[in-house]
Structures are given as structure tokens and as C-alpha cells.
């Protein structure tokens, strides 16, 4: 006779399931509901079908925002991943200075996103900001509120300052997990510094680097608070990324139907790219285990 299964564990999981239902599933269903309906107010809705999705697919506004978003995320990954690896390779491995470096690298990650935007908004101002005033004093025409290039450089540098620490700490953890025997064997073989990095450190960091790339991609692709506080999406629409454009559409213009369709398409894009990263990570883990 089979032993009856103890179902009491479900009572421990039930609060989590209810929390997920209220915080994720129900709001998502609300967005789906808005994406297939139209309203003229007074809580009266009319079936619209896929009209809003068709409008968004053929909207230059959506594709322009997507292009800016993809460009921003690409630049961020190309800068932060190599820079984070470089910092991790040069951090002390033991002693007091290792602890000091870890604490200093963690500080930017503890600052709230809106505070980061406020810091750089003030820091870059020509009249009172240290960066803007210093650049103006040496003859560099810098104004992130009027110049597109200056706005992009400011937003990119701000994100690099804020999030490179995450990549560096993950890469550092990957380096610390490498057994000393690998380095001793490389020393016996008289391998150079580049060879040690290429054939020992980089392969052993693949797992954590993929996690870092996945996290940084998702964060950069959904960025909203920092550029909104600094530039407000300007000058013009130069830094109006997908999230900023979505908020303007939903709250500023109160176009709930198009905004709901926009957000669902936004969600699907992030989900698909994250799935690609996850598939690559699992395949690498499977190859390492063989």
C-alpha cells in the first residue's frame, strides 16, 4: 500500500501564491483587458480586438523608442561588462584592502534610482553642478538639457557609474571560486597573464558573466527613473526610451488601450530575450557538467 502524500506543505506555499496572484497575475490580466477594449469614459468599454496591437506595430513612435532602447542597452553592455571584468581582475584577493574594495564597490548599488538621477541632474548642471561648471570653465560646451550627444553621454556615464559595480562583484565572485591549483599549473607551464585569463579565468567566469549580462540587459532595457529625472526624455525625444514613452502614453495622454498593447509587446520582447539568455546559460552548465 502506497504511503499517503503529505499535502501540508501547500499551506506554506499558499501565501506566496496569493501574493504572486495579487502582485503580478491580476495586474497583467487588467492590462490584457485594456489592450483589447476601448473606452470613452464613465467605465464603459467597447471591444476593439487587435486594433491597438496593429496600431502599435505600425507606429513609428514605438519603433523609434525601441531603437533608442536597443542602442542604449548595447552601449551599456559593451562598456560595463569589460570594465567590470577589468576591475574584478585588479581587486585585492585577500586582506583588509579586499574588504574595503568590496564595500566601496557596493556603495553605488545601495543608492535608490531616483536619488541617482537627482545626483547626476545636479552634478551636470552648468550653473551649480561640479561637472557642468568645470567643463564650461575649461571651454567645453556641455549642456545635457539642450544637446542630444551631451544628454546621451550623461545618461550612459550615470548608468555605468551606478551599475558597473554589479558586474565587478559577480566577476570577482567567479574569480574567487577558481581553485589555486589552476594558477599553480599555469605557473609551472610558464603561462603569460593573457593566457591565464583566456584559458582559466574567462571560462570559469562564464556562468556569472552570463548572469551579469542578463541582469544588466533587463535593467537597462527597463530603465526609467534615472533618465527621466535627469533629462525627462529630452532634449526632444532623444532619451525617450521605451519605459518613458509608455508612461507618457498611459498617464500623460491617457491612451489606455494603445499603452496596454504597448506594455504587453514590451513584456514579450524582454521575456523572449531573457529566455534566450537562460537557454544559453543552461546549455553551458550542461556542457560543463559533462
pLDDT, one tens digit per residue, over 95-115 is: 888 889 899 999 999 998 889
Give 50-289's CATH code, choosing from 1.10.287.70, 1.10.3720.10, 1.20.1260.10, 3.10.105.10. Answer: 1.10.3720.10
CA 106 vs CA 53, 91, 103, 266: distances in Å: 42, 13, 5, 30
pLDDT of residue 41: 66
Distances in whole angstroms, Cα of residue 129 to Cα of each of 133, 155, 232: 6, 15, 18
pLDDT of residue 86: 94
What local confidence, expressed as pLDDT, does residue 4 receive? 65
pTM of the shown model: 0.85
Rounded Cα–Cα distance for residues 154 and 142 (Å): 10
Looking at residue 90, its pLDDT comes to 92
Residue 285: its pLDDT value, please?
A: 66
Q: For residue 283, what pLDDT is reported?
A: 79
Distance from chain centroid for Cα 238? 19
Q: What is the pLDDT of residue 288?
A: 63
Let me know if 7 is exposed, middle or buried by CB neighbors in 10 A (0-12, 13-18, 19+): exposed
pLDDT under 50 in the chain at which residues?
none
Residue 279's pLDDT is 84
Amino acid at each position: 500500500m502506497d504511503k499517503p502524500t503529505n499535502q501540508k506543505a501547500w499551506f506554506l506555499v499558499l501565501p506566496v501564491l496569493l501574493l504572486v496572484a495579487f502582485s503580478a497575475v491580476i495586474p497583467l490580466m487588467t492590462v490584457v483587458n485594456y489592450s483589447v477594449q476601448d473606452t470613452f469614459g464613465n467605465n464603459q468599454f467597447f471591444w476593439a480586438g487587435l486594433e491597438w496591437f496593429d496600431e502599435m506595430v505600425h507606429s513609428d513612435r514605438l519603433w523609434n523608442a525601441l531603437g533608442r532602447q536597443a542602442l542604449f542597452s548595447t552601449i551599456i553592455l559593451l562598456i560595463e561588462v569589460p570594465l567590470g571584468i577589468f576591475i574584478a581582475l585588479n581587486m585585492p584577493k585577500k586582506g583588509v584592502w579586499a574588504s574595503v574594495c568590496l564595500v566601496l564597490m557596493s556603495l553605488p548599488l545601495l543608492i535608490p534610482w531616483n536619488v541617482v538621477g537627482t545626483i547626476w541632474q545636479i552634478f551636470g548642471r552648468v550653473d551649480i553642478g561640479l561637472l557642468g561648471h568645470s567643463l564650461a570653465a575649461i571651454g567645453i560646451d556641455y549642456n545635457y538639457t539642450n544637446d542630444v550627444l551631451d544628454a546621451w553621454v550623461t545618461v550612459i556615464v550615470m548608468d555605468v557609474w551606478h551599475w558597473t559595480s554589479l558586474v565587478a562583484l559577480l566577476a570577482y565572485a567567479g574569480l574567487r571560486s577558481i581553485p589555486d591549483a589552476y594558477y599553480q599549473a599555469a605557473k609551472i607551464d610558464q603561462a603569460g597573464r593573457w593566457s591565464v585569463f583566456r584559458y582559466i579565468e574567462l571560462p570559469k567566469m562564464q556562468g556569472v558573466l552570463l548572469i551579469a549580462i542578463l541582469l544588466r540587459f533587463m535593467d537597462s532595457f527597463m530603465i526609467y527613473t534615472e533618465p527621466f529625472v535627469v533629462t525627462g526624455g529630452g532634449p526632444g525625444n532623444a532619451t525617450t526610451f521605451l519605459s518613458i514613452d509608455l508612461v507618457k502614453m498611459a498617464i500623460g495622454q491617457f491612451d489606455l488601450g494603445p499603452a496596454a498593447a504597448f506594455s504587453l509587446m514590451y513584456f514579450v520582447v524582454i521575456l523572449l530575450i531573457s529566455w534566450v539568455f537562460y537557454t544559453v546559460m543552461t546549455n553551458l552548465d550542461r556542457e560543463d557538467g559533462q
